[in-house]
Amino acid sequence: MRHWTGAAALAAALTLAAGHARAEEAGREDALREAHAVLLGLAADGEKPGHDGAADIYYSIIDNPDAPRLVTRLELALEPCRSRTISALQFPGRWASLTLTITDLGRIAAVAAYASVDDMIAERNAIAFDDPRAEQVVLTGEGVSCMSRLSLAGESQSKATSCGDRLDLSMMDDEQRERGLRALSAVARLCKVAALQPGQD
């Protein structure tokens, strides 16, 4: 009887531990999903996505028949510091163009923040990204984001893969600042980005 009681207790403990692990992993993925959306400009103003399985779908469609329509699908990779987005942009009466982007937040190597757009453009008076005056944040890292474009109108308008080394984050009001700092905190903590650790300049 003791043997079965002990086995049942062990099984219950293992089940509980597995549940905690799954909850922690889900929390990690949720935090990084939001971080990707904010840093890629999909949720800069708190936009809420639709859902398609494990993917988030962001829509930029306004009630104007002459305006372009943009739909973006965001998925985390097996390593959640990486994401894949597929964006479809279509102007009225034209073929849509597709953009595939791979973003690796773990490649962020440096961060600079500025109190104004003018300072950012001039690359002057850099301040800490968590400084209350910070309105613009520039994150850089080699190959942090790579994209390929495909036009459904034909291969002549498609573009080969190109990689960029910069992500921009605006924190112009309290809500943007809250979302931005939450995203940066998640990247620092979960992607182990040294430039975003507390105490870094």
| Residue 174: inside a domain | yes
Torsion angles phi and psi, residue 27, rounded to 5? -65, -40
Nearest to 129 by CA among 113, 142, 141: 113
Res. 201: pLDDT tops 90: no
pLDDT band at 14 (very low <50, low <70, confident <90, very high): very low
Question: pLDDT by residue (tens digit) across 64-107?
Answer: 777 788 899 999 998 899 999 999 988 888 888 899 999 999 99
Tell me: the pLDDT tens digits for 129-166? 999 999 999 999 999 999 998 877 665 555 667 899 99
Question: Whole-structure pTM over 0.85, yes or no?
Answer: no
Enclosing domain of residue 39: 2-196
Q: Does residue 201 fall inside a structural domain?
A: no
- With 0-12 / 13-18 / 19 or more C-beta atoms within 10 angstroms meaning exposed / middle / buried, residue 28 is middle
Domain-located, residue 151: yes
- Token pair, residue 160, equals 């080969």
What is the amino acid identity at position 106? G
For residues 148 and 194, give the distance between their C-alpha atoms in angstroms, rounded to a whole number.
29
Count of the separate structural domains present in the chain? 1
The token pair that represents 89 in the structure block? 């942009």
The three-class DSSP label of residue 136 is strand
Establish if 114 belongs to a structural domain.
yes
Please say if the pLDDT value at position 17 is more than 50.
Answer: no
- Give mean pLDDT, residues 177-191: 95
